[in-house]
Amino acid sequence: MDTLSLVSIFVLSVLYARLLKSTVNWLNVDGFQIGQRDLKMELFCIGSWLWGAISLPPMEGTIFALLAGILFAISWIDFHTFQIPLIFIIVGSIIVFFGLLFNTINFKSAVYGVLVGSVIPLTLIGLIYLITKRQGMGYGDIQLGFVLGIWLGPVRMALTLFGASLLSLIVWITLSGIKGFERDRALPFAPYLAIAGIGTFIGSVYFPSLFHYLILN
């Protein structure tokens, strides 16, 4: 990759990060704001845009970078407010729609991915609520699962749900050990979905034979 391409990617990633920060601050969910000197969004976007440009075909890399930024913004807001703004779900849905439009996402895989990432968890939430009168995942998490399911497909989405559940369980146990056991301690689930989803996608790029084996078996 030549110097001009790297500079262009760097500029685009920073502009995208600033747009996401401005949107988060404009939404002002429960008063949550990102300071102008807080550069976590910029650093994450630079990293995701560069990785996408180096490791993936142009269109697929662009979709990855755009969606990764959305996931980061959702995670940050959910971590502080336990809310997922609908506007980011809509934008994420538009991004994966373009993936379908440009054939970087397989339509059949997307349908099964939605089933795994959204329909099945929604059914389980309903059953759990009927039995325990408690709600596990929030409906924002289900909407996020819809977007991730289209992007990742059924196998990677199933691994994402497993990874997110495992991560959240580890954090819950750790917090219980540090702060004391609380049965009703709530954790925002979107950050774990985002981490597991991005991690699973990157893993499928570096270890395609493993995921090919899982799909066939």
* 217 residues of the chain, pLDDT tens digit each: 788 889 999 999 999 999 999 999 999 999 999 998 999 999 999 999 999 999 999 999 999 999 999 999 999 999 999 999 999 999 999 999 999 999 999 999 999 999 998 887 777 666 656 655 555 567 888 999 999 999 999 999 999 988 988 998 898 888 877 777 666 667 888 999 999 999 999 999 998 877 666 654 4
Residue 192: give the domain boundaries.
3-216
Closest CA to 194 of 143, 160, 158: 160
Contact 101, 94 (CB under 8 A): no
* The pLDDT of residue 207: 86
Alpha carbon distance 145, 118 (integer Å): 5
**Number of structural domains, the chain?**
1
Q: Helix, strand or coil for residue 18?
A: helix
Closest CA to 48 of 12, 75, 18, 84: 12
